[in-house]
Amino acid sequence: MADKSTSSLEQVIQTAIDSALKEVHTCLPAVVVRVDHANQLIDAQVTIQRKLAGKMVNLPLLVNVPLRYWRSATFSITFPVEVGDHVKLLFSERSIDTWLTYGGIQNPFDVRKFSLSDAFAEPVMYPQTDVIPSFDTTRLQLKTNDGTGSISIAPNGVIEIVGNTGTIVIQTDGTIEINGNMDTAVAFTDMKAAFDELKTELNAFVQQYNEHRHAGGALNNRQATPAVADMAPAELPTIKVP
């Protein structure tokens, strides 16, 4: 049976470990309080409380937390984060102050570890009360949460683009359907050239008809009107095809 001194020492060690672990931060949910889009920084309030002196209290407000998106040297995926949005906070093992300022490989110049001061945020965490609405279970989607706009890619390669004014579907055979598939597009320039040629030939026939003289030299008293039809108004210059 352990004596009181041994038991007391164990309690002291355990208390010291527990106390140290309270300051080891790894990952926590938070809500955005302020946004600096230009510098991609936010102020965030951790949404999980901690116990202090027997009472549940909020962790301190974290200011100028780096907000990070997916990016490479060539591409980025971005969207605006707003006050009230949920984010995931990750806490670096060592101080990131110098690295954030200068990049590259840096001396941390601080002994702190897993500190609240070394958080960065990702907009990928939310409670079950705020799940993504109308979740598509079969396609990759980039969309507005209210459903007014989306880009969807199906496993077979079909791409659908939805906006306030219509829908575009790109089929796997290269067919592009704009607001349905009830009609087909035409190459306007080629069709207009054929139309103008036909109109020229028709008007030449009309002129020949109008200049025709009956027996005795009288002109045809039933004159035909030359065609003046124009296809230009039918052109849709904002839609281009090969």
pLDDT tens digit string along 162-210? 999 889 999 999 888 888 877 777 778 888 888 889 888 888 888 887 8
Which of the residue ranges 9-13, 104-108, 144-148, 235-239 would you say has the lowest mean pLDDT? 235-239
| Residue 16: exposure state from Cβ atoms within 10 A (0-12, 13-18, ≥19) | exposed
**Which residues in the chain are classed under CATH 2.40.50.230?**
4-130
Question: pLDDT value at position 33?
Answer: 98
Question: Minimal CA–CA distance to 31: which of 88, 115, 80, 92?
Answer: 88
Distances (CA, A) of 164 to 49, 152, 168, 196, 236: 42, 15, 12, 37, 19
Confidence category of residue 241, pLDDT binned at 50, 70, 90: low
The strand ranges marked E within 86-238 are 86-91, 119-122, 140-143, 150-153, 159-163, 166-170, 176-178
Mean pLDDT of the chain: 89
Give the CATH fold of the 4-130 domain: OB fold (Dihydrolipoamide Acetyltransferase, E2P) (2.40.50)
The pLDDT of residue 242 is 60
pLDDT band, very low/low/confident/very high, at 219 (cuts 50, 70, 90): low
What pTM was computed for the model? 0.74
pLDDT score at 212: 72
Please give the pLDDT value at position 215.
Answer: 66
Mean pLDDT across the stretch 121-130? Answer: 96
